Amino acid sequence: MPLPKRGEVWQVDFGLAAKVRPALVVSVAILENERALYAVMPHTTALWGTRFEVPLAIRWLEKGAFDGQGIRPVPSKVFLRRLGALTTEQMATIEASIAHWFGLASR
């Protein structure tokens, strides 16, 4: 199976409680001497209306948003299949939300 890349959306198995759902890879590529962990931002259809939810119109995903407050590390074994990739513009919106959540920039 190919390795996940930044900007790609994969079907990810988050375990029994969190279930299988789409998630965006937001971390950079890992090197051979680094732990095989990827930072992902889950996609949700259960919106709370927070400032850290990023709704994007993507034809191959249900209507919803990527949840910036749900960013978590996952091992490579939980990636089930690649669904697609975001555009540069869409990733810029995601990156701005992450920067805001971590206090790296203001919106």
Instruction: Report if residue 106 sits inside a domain.
Output: no
Predicted local distance difference test score (pLDDT) of residue 18: 65
- At 32 the pLDDT is 87
C-alpha 8/C-alpha 15 separation (Å) is: 20
84 part of a folded domain: yes
105: its two tokens:
């920039």
3-state secondary structure of 17: coil
Q: Which two tokens stand for residue 44?
A: 């949700």
The domain of 86 spans 8-101
Total count of domains within the chain: 1
* Residue 74 forms part of a structural domain: yes
Question: Residue 54 falls within a domain, yes or no?
Answer: yes
In a domain, 85, yes or no: yes
Listed as ranges, residues in the chain with pLDDT below 50 are: none
- pTM equals 0.92
CATH code, 93: 2.30.30.110
Does residue 2 form part of some domain?
no
Q: Is 40 part of any domain? A: yes
What distance in Å separates the CA atoms of residue 4 and residue 28, rounded to the nearest whole number?
10
